[in-house]
């Protein structure tokens, strides 16, 4: 995934994280070192720029936010509606391919190894460039599923039946079933997955072996940020230190926050309220649990937060608004986003959509 050095691998791909890769050299062995410089932006000069618009299938009937599943990499936005998964160029909106869906997507995610989808009980690996299937498998224990996520060599899917099922990326072979809270989302970490199960947070190897279990009350997890994973539910946030497997902090907040939409950078977790969760958007320091900032929002028919290099874009009533990651300073707003249900992004480009997709650069 792409982004500046200050952002986590979840940029534009809600619910994902990349693990750091090294060449095995120690600092003394390296003959040349490239220093990564944190990219900063002057928010006084930032504003939304409309890039392009494209039509998508206009599905008739009920409106369900769950049908609008989307992800993006550095070149392409993959937008799911009730009837189609469409790949559009981030640069100009050109359609790369479209895949008809017999049933709506429950989840879609992309990483350097491929594009992965979930439909009811079926997990599928697709070629991101063509949409062609690499493998497809059905897990008989997946019911009311709601997401798909990846780690280094494995992909996991899970949801409402308290089960996360893990598969090999290369073959689709099932390797494990992990226990999880009904609304929790497994998060990739250290080649395996971290999962919340109401009264505890646990880390597992891809074969289902438990690495550690932390006594922490959480029914959901935000993306991994640095060495911390943030979870919550029932009026509180909790941070779990991934290195030690222990609870690091707890922060009380208003609202139940039973099923929020989440995103994050290397040091900040963003939590957007789900239905009946209240009307406050939170940005937390993942190391300390301190509330960096919060914002009142209209969470009805809301798209998920999109973390860009230049700011975080959230739904607020009839507009999409962008805020600076750590201070919450408002940068700009766009009329794109009013009563639109899906969103994704990468780099400095966000794509917001329902039956029409619009891309804006920040």
Question: What residues make up the domain containing 250?
Answer: 49-361
Which residue matches tokens 């190391």?
Answer: 287
CB 159 within 8 A of CB 174: no
DSSP state of 278: -
- This model's pTM is above 0.85: yes
Residue 135 lies in a domain: yes
pLDDT in tens, the chain (362 residues): 333 223 343 333 333 333 323 233 333 333 333 444 567 888 888 999 999 999 998 776 556 677 889 999 999 999 998 889 999 999 999 999 999 998 888 899 999 999 999 988 899 999 999 999 999 998 765 555 578 999 999 999 986 667 899 999 999 999 999 988 777 789 999 999 999 988 899 999 999 999 999 999 898 999 999 999 999 988 899 999 999 999 999 999 887 788 889 999 999 999 998 777 778 999 999 999 999 999 998 776 688 999 999 999 998 877 899 999 999 999 999 988 666 789 999 999 999 998 899 999 99
Residue 43 lies in a domain: no
Q: Each residue of 101-142: pLDDT tens digit?
A: 988 888 999 999 999 999 888 999 999 999 999 999 987 655
Domains: count for the chain: 1
Residue 30 lies in a domain: no
Residue 305 lies in a domain: yes
Residue 93 lies in a domain: yes
Residue 191: give its domain's CATH number.
2.130.10.10
Residue 314 lies in a domain: yes
Residue 337 lies in a domain: yes
Q: Each residue of 80-103: pLDDT tens digit?
A: 988 899 999 999 999 999 999 988
- Give every CB contact of residue 44 below 8 A, 6+ residues apart in sequence: none
Among residues 1, 128, 50, the alpha carbon closest in space to that of 349 is found at 50
């Amino acid at each position: 995934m792409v982004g500046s050095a200050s952002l986590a691998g979840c940029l534009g791909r809600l619910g994902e994280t990349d693990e750091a890769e090294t060449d095995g050299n120690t600092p003394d062995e390296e003959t040349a070192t490239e220093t990564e410089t944190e990219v900063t932006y002057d928010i006084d000069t930032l504003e939304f720029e409309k890039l392009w618009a494209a039509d998508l299938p206009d599905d008739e009937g009920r409106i369900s936010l769950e049908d609008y599943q989307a992800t993006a990499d550095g070149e392409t936005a993959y937008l799911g509606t009730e009837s189609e998964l469409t790949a559009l160029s981030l640069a100009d909106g050109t359609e790369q391919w479209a895949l008809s869906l017999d049933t709506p997507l429950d989840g879609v995610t992309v990483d350097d190894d491929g594009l992965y989808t979930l439909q009811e009980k079926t997990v599928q690996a697709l070629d991101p460039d063509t949409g062609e299937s690499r493998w497809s498998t059905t897990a008989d224990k997946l019911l009311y599923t709601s997401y798909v996520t990846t780690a280094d060599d494995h992909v996991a899917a899970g949801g409402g039946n308290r089960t996360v099922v893990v598969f090999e990326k290369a073959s689709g072979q099932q390797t494990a079933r992990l226990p999880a809270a009904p609304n929790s989302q497994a998060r990739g970490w250290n080649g395996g997955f971290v999962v919340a199960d109401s009264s505890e947070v646990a880390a597992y190897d891809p074969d289902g072996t438990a690495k550690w279990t932390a006594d922490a009350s959480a029914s959901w997890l935000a993306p991994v940020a640095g060495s911390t994973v943030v979870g919550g539910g029932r009026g509180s946030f909790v941070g779990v230190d991934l290195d030690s497997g222990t609870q690091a902090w707890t922060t009380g907040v208003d609202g139940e926050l039973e099923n929020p939409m989440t995103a994050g950078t290397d040091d900040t977790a963003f939590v957007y309220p789900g239905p009946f969760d209240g009307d406050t958007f939170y940005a937390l320091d993942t190391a300390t649990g301190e509330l960096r900032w919060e914002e009142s929002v209209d969470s009805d028919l809301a798209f998920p937060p999109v973390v860009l290099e230049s700011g975080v874009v959230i739904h607020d009533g009839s507009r999409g608004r962008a805020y600076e990651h750590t201070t919450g300073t408002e940068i700009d707003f766009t009329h794109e986003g009013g009563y639109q249900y899906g969103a994704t992004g990468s780099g400095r480009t966000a794509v917001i959509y329902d039956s029409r997709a619009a891309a804006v650069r920040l």
